[in-house]
Amino acid sequence: MTTKIVGVKEFRDNMTRYWKKARKENIRYIVMHRSTPVLEVNPLMGDNFVLEELAKEISKSRKEVAAGETYSHQEVCKMLGL
């Protein structure tokens, strides 16, 4: 997979072109706003892909919560430097 960087204004103005090209050519786009990455656009292949990945993430998250592997709001803010 190829990764390309694009500005937020350029992406907004040509969004349809970018997602079609991402899917056709298997390109990942990182959208930047003032030199900061704010969005990642990845092509999804196949209809079941999204549901399978979502089911895996939900299952993993439920196990983490059951094991007490959670973070408080303050801990998350501290990790993010907010």
Contacts within 8 Å (CB) and 24+ apart, 11-14 = 11/39, 11/41
The angle formed by the CA atoms of residues 40, 46 and 49, to the nearest 5 degrees, is: 65
pLDDT for position 54: 85
Q: What is the dihedral of CA 38, 80, 61, 41, to 10 degrees?
A: 10
The CATH class given to the 1-43 domain equals: alpha beta
- Indicate the domain borders of the chain: 1-43, 45-82
Question: What does the block give as tokens for 52?
Answer: 């399978």
> Which residue from 44, 40, 41, 45 is spatially nearest to 17, judged by alpha carbons?
41
Containing 28, the helix (H) or strand (E) segment is: strand 27-33
pLDDT tens for 9-68 read 999 999 999 989 988 898 999 999 999 999 998 887 766 677 788 889 999 999 999 999
Q: In DSSP terms, which residues pair with 33 in a beta bridge?
A: 36
